[in-house]
């Protein structure tokens, strides 16, 4: 190209469009430059110009990329007045954002201006009249109110809901013409979080929340009409599953109100590969006045899990400094230099309270209660254990990279756990415990001994599981002392079976597990159906007719709080999943316990069974998880909390060999 072709770049802020003028023909003839324009800019092409819509995106990065491509391919750029102005504004905006980020980091590190913080504290005390925040909660709320776009990664039980209400109380009561003023909240979370958000509002503000729930079922038109109404509730709650269905109306709602959007249990929207829920979450970010992310487990599987969280709070800023593939690589390699750079990049925008910061009275972990299985259960267990442990030892450690072999290992372990708890469960098909229908593990249901099979079929009518009897004895002592208890069980069969047994023994109890319905709008208060929220609410009352809840940690270990009424947890069954175990413990051991409160944990184990291996492995995993939670700014658990891993299988084999040699 003897004479360099000229292209000028212009921008129309009203239409949000970039224009390319000049030698368009030369641009079209340049294979590499034209491929970029066609493939990446999605242009509208006419004879005298190329139009590139930018929509809600920042124009400068797009213009900078176009400029770089033109220069690389031999074009001379003629800078227009508008493009020069955008460049100037961009660098001014970057300067202001750098100053903002520096101040946010100072607040996070408790290096904020003392007078400003005291004024904020006084303002919150005046407007959050029914709740006093402790110092770290106040600092977190101040950081949240200052930045308006922030993540809170505090541990479960740290009071993240109260922190949000503290920040909201400040922003909501600013003058209406203040650019930071917020007039309502939109909470996105699991259904189980709705009740706690409403009850916590009342406890913080001293009045019932004016709230609206948008959940599956019901009339879609009613939800749409609500979102476009002129007078929405102060507190709107929507489930993650409902977001894609109401995306257009939620966008209208956000554009026409000054809304603080809160992602509760935000790890549920971590899909960095473009899932519909994650995309709906990111779409909301464009129109939100304030964006808050809450989760105690920001990176359960890898650093890539935090990508969407920071993209949500700052959609037009690359605050994280890494792309998704780079984050996956950091997770895989454990590159500490890049981990440190990542933490430095995001430090101004998140805050975290550790469990050690909460000054909660320490819990009492009682020595395991070993029960001797009845003769029928013992015979069944011995048969099942020998069958599956022989297979484990024959095959060696399971290849967990193979979906089928991993499923077989899990199937064997499930059968061992069932036999150690209640052999009647062995009648149920294994497919009930697997979501993947393609993985056939039914061969591990087969019992090829007719005598043992008969014992299994007759077990319920022949013997009461020893664990049921042990739970009943514990509950007698707890209830007679005026206490309440939550009993955690892995299997739904156990929840039903234990409830039936306890009811026959005169102990009234309720169940909390996945099938227990969530409170929904339009449900008659007089209906006999007890929902999770009603059960939890009733359980908190001093005159509650039942003193025992039997729950499944997989289904209800998040969002519910039982610590105000219950200080005893009994584990009749546990799996190798440390995350569910730790979350369940936090239901009764969290901030807000009165001084002198004693929290009790009781573990019931069938003697000389898989229960003992699970006890040892969970203790090891929990210790490692606690070390990670206390030491790492972004806790990365990788496989520490996994359901069943090679180390668990090795421990099973080792314990079995030790027992059989001893006998």
Q: Any idea where the domains of the chain sit in the sequence?
A: 6-89, 112-354, 363-623
Say if CB 258 and CB 288 are below 8 A apart: no
* CA proximity to 571, closest of 644, 505, 485: 485
Q: Which of 21-25, 96-100, 436-440, 444-448 has the lowest mean pLDDT?
A: 436-440
Strand bridging mode 568-571 / 364-365: unpaired
Q: Measured between alpha carbons, how far is 94 from 318 in angstroms, rounded to an integer?
A: 11
Q: Which of 327-341, 394-408, 535-549, 598-612 has the lowest mean pLDDT?
A: 394-408
CATH of domain 6-89: 3.30.780
6-89 and 112-354 have identical folds: no
Q: Measured between alpha carbons, how far is 531 from 194 in angstroms, rounded to an integer?
A: 13
Give the confidence band of 60 by pLDDT, cuts at 50, 70, 90: confident
The pair of three-digit structure tokens given for residue 634, joined into one six-digit string: 């972004």
Q: What is the pLDDT of residues 454-510, one digit of tens each?
A: 888 889 999 999 999 999 999 999 999 999 999 999 999 999 999 999 999 999 999
- Average pLDDT over every residue of 263-288: 85
425 Cβ partners below 8 Å, 6+ apart? 418, 419, 491, 493, 494
pLDDT at 428: 78
- What 3-state DSSP class applies to 629? helix
- Average pLDDT over every residue of 313-341: 90
* CA proximity to 172, closest of 195, 145, 196: 145
Say if CB 153 and CB 352 are below 8 A apart: yes
**Facing residues of 77 across strands?**
7
Q: Among the CATH numbers 3.40.50.450, 3.40.50.10810, 3.30.470.10, 3.30.70.20, which is that of 112-354? A: 3.40.50.10810
Whole-number average pLDDT of the chain: 87
Phi then psi dihedrals of residue 45, to 5 deg: -105, 130
Q: Among the CATH numbers 3.30.450.40, 3.40.50.1820, 3.40.50.300, 1.20.1250.20, which is that of 363-623? A: 3.40.50.300
Q: Measured between alpha carbons, how far is 168 from 554 in angstroms, rounded to an integer?
A: 32
Q: Measured between alpha carbons, how far is 507 from 573 in angstroms, rounded to an integer?
A: 20
Give the confidence band of 198 by pLDDT, cuts at 50, 70, 90: very high
> DSSP for 126-181?
HHSTT----HHHHHHHHHHHHHSEEEE-PPTTS-HHHHHHHHHHHHHTS-TTSTT-
- Average pLDDT over every residue of 49-68: 84
Q: Measured between alpha carbons, how far is 348 from 15 in angstroms, rounded to an integer?
A: 34
* CA proximity to 42, closest of 57, 29, 30, 25: 57
The pair of three-digit structure tokens given for residue 336, joined into one six-digit string: 């500490």
Count CA atoms within 13 Å of residue 542 on its CB side: 0
pTM: 0.81
Does residue 398 have a pLDDT over 60? no
Say if CB 581 and CB 616 are below 8 A apart: no
The pair of three-digit structure tokens given for residue 484, joined into one six-digit string: 């309440």
Q: Which of 132-136, 314-318, 520-524 has the lowest mean pLDDT?
A: 520-524
More confident residue, 214 or 472: 472
pLDDT at 437: 45
Does residue 204 have a pLDDT over 50? yes
- Average pLDDT over every residue of 528-548: 85
pLDDT at 438: 45
661 Cβ partners below 8 Å, 6+ apart? none
Give the confidence band of 615 by pLDDT, cuts at 50, 70, 90: very high
Question: ∠ at Cα 175 (173, 177), nearest 5°?
Answer: 140
Q: Which of 133-137, 167-171, 432-436 has the lowest mean pLDDT?
A: 432-436
């Amino acid at each position: 190209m003897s004479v360099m072709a000229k292209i000028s770049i212009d921008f129309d802020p009203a239409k949000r469009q970039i224009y390319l003028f000049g030698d368009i023909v030369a641009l079209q003839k340049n294979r590499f430059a034209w491929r970029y324009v066609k493939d990446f800019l999605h242009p509208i092409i006419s004879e005298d110009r190329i139009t590139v819509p930018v929509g809600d995106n920042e124009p400068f990065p797009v213009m900078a990329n176009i400029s770089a491509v033109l220069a690389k391919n031999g074009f001379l750029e003629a800078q227009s007045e508008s493009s020069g102005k955008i460049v100037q504004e961009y660098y001014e905006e970057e300067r202001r954002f750098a100053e903002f980020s520096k101040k946010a980091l100072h607040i996070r590190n408790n290096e904020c201006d003392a007078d400003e913080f005291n004024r904020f504290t006084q303002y919150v005390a005046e407007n959050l009249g029914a709740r006093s925040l402790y110092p770290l909660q106040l600092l977190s709320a101040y950081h949240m109110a200052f930045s308006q776009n922030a993540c809170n990664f505090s541990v479960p039980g740290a009071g993240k809901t109260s922190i949000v209400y503290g920040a909201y109380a400040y922003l909501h009561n600013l003058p209406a013409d203040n650019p930071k003023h917020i007039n309502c909240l939109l909470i996105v979370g699991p259904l189980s979080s709705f009740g706690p958000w409403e009850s916590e509002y009342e406890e913080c503000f001293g009045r019932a929340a004016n709230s609206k729930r948008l959940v599956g079922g019901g009339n879609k038109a009613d939800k749409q009409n609500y979102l476009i109404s002129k007078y929405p509730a102060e507190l709107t709650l929507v489930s993650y599953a409902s977001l894609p269905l109401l995306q257009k109306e939620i966008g209208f709602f956000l554009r026409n109100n000054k809304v603080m959007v809160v992602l509760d249990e935000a790890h549920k929207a971590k899909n960095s590969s473009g899932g519909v829920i994650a995309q709906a979450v990111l779409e909301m970010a464009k129109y939100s006045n304030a964006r808050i992310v809450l989760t105690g487990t920001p990176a359960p599987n890898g650093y890539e899990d935090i990508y969407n969280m920071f993209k949500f709070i700052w959609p037009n800023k690359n605050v994280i400094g890494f792309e998704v593939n780079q984050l996956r690589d950091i997770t895989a390699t454990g590159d500490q230099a890049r981990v440190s750079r990542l933490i430095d990049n995001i430090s101004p925008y998140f805050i975290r309270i550790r469990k050690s910061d909460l000054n909660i009275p320490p819990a009492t972990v009682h020595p395991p209660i070993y029960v001797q299985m009845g003769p029928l259960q013992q015979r069944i267990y011995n048969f099942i254990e020998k069958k599956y442990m022989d297979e484990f030892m024959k095959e060696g450690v399971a290849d967990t990279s193979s979906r089928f072999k991993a499923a077989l290992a899990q199937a064997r372990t499930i059968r061992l756990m069932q036999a150690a708890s209640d052999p009647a469960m062995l009648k149920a098909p294994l497919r009930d415990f697997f979501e993947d229908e393609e993985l056939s593990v039914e061969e591990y249901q087969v019992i090829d001994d007719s005598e043992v099979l008969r014992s299994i079929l007759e077990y319920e009518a022949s013997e009461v599981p020893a664990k049921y009897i042990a739970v009943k004895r514990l509950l007698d002592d707890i209830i007679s002392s005026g206490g309440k208890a939550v009993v955690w069980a892995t299997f739904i069969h156990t929840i039903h079976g234990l409830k039936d047994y306890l009811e026959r023994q005169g102990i009234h109890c309720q169940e909390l597990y996945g099938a227990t319905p969530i409170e929904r709008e339009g449900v008659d208060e007089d209906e006999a159906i007890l929902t999770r929220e009603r059960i939890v609410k009733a359980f908190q009352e001093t005159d509650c007719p039942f003193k025992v809840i039997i729950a499944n940690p997989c289904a209800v270990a998040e969002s519910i709080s039982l610590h105000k009424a219950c200080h005893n947890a009994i584990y009749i069954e546990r799996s190798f999943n440390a995350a569910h175990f730790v979350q369940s413990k936090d239901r009764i051991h969290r901030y807000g316990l009165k001084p002198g409160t004693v929290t009790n944990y009781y573990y019931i184990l069938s003697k000389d069974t898989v229960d003992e291996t699970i006890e040892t492995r969970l203790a090891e995993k929990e210790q490692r998880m606690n070390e990670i939670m206390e030491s790492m700014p972004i806790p990365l658990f990788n496989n520490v909390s996994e359901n069943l891993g090679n180390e668990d299988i090795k421990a099973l084999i080792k314990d079995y060999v030790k027992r059989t040699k001893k006998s």
